[in-house]
Amino acid sequence: MLNLATNLTSMKTIITSKNAPAPIGPYNQAVKAGNMLFCSGQIAFVPETGELDLSTVENETHQVMKNIRAVLNEAGADFENVVKTTIFLSDMGLFARVNEIYGSYFTSDFPARETVEVAGLPKNVNVEISVTAFIAD
């Protein structure tokens, strides 16, 4: 009989980048399972300082995307590998500003996406984004 737990453990790889913020809870920056990469949500922590960049929603969104790029790069991927994103906003009124910055990181074949307004985000940030990517062998 196949031991499913052993099989799953051998199929997944934990991805950790020193160029992205360390997790602040019991999770990993990303997990690669087969050809799929599942990246945890990123907020605007600046890895070099450990501080949040909440100076403007534009700067906050750029930092989130830089953090995502660092995790993707550690796994041998970039934004062109992203197939799905989820954007969490503290206020849907920020959508246009966040969307403009977010869109600048993709050149074509945009990923599937949803954007949702939530009651609160970690550390009272305005933006959190998670991505799923496909990495061909």
pTM of the model: 0.92
CA dist 84 and 60 (Å) reads: 20
Number of domains in the chain: 1
Provide the domain limits for residue 128. 7-134
pLDDT value for 4: 46
User: Do the beta carbons of residue 135 and residue 80 sit within 8 Å?
Assistant: no
Tell me if 58 is assigned to some domain. yes
Going by C-alpha positions, the residue among 70, 122, 128, 121 that lies closest to residue 98 is: 128
28 CB contacts (<8 Å, ≥6 apart)?
Answer: 14, 15, 16, 40
Residue 3: what pLDDT?
A: 46
Q: From CA 101, how far away is CA 118, in angstroms rounded? A: 20
* Residue of 16, 17, 9, 14 lying closest to 31 (CA atoms): 14
* The predicted structure's pLDDT at residue 35: 96
Residue 9: per-residue pLDDT:
59
Residue at 1 is within a domain: no
| CATH classification of the domain holding 43 | 3.30.1330.40
In this structure, are residues 81 and 36 in contact, taking their beta carbons and an 8 Å threshold? no
In a domain, 2, yes or no: no
Spatial distance between the Cα atoms of 83 and 93, rounded to a whole number of angstroms? 25
In a domain, 15, yes or no: yes
The CA distance from 74 to 112, in Å, is: 22
pLDDT at residue 131 in the model: 98
Assigned domain for 96 exists:
yes
Give the pLDDT means over successive 10-residue stretches in the chain (137 positions). 51 95 95 97 96 98 98 98 98 98 95 98 97 93
Alpha-carbon span 117 to 103, nearest angstrom: 18
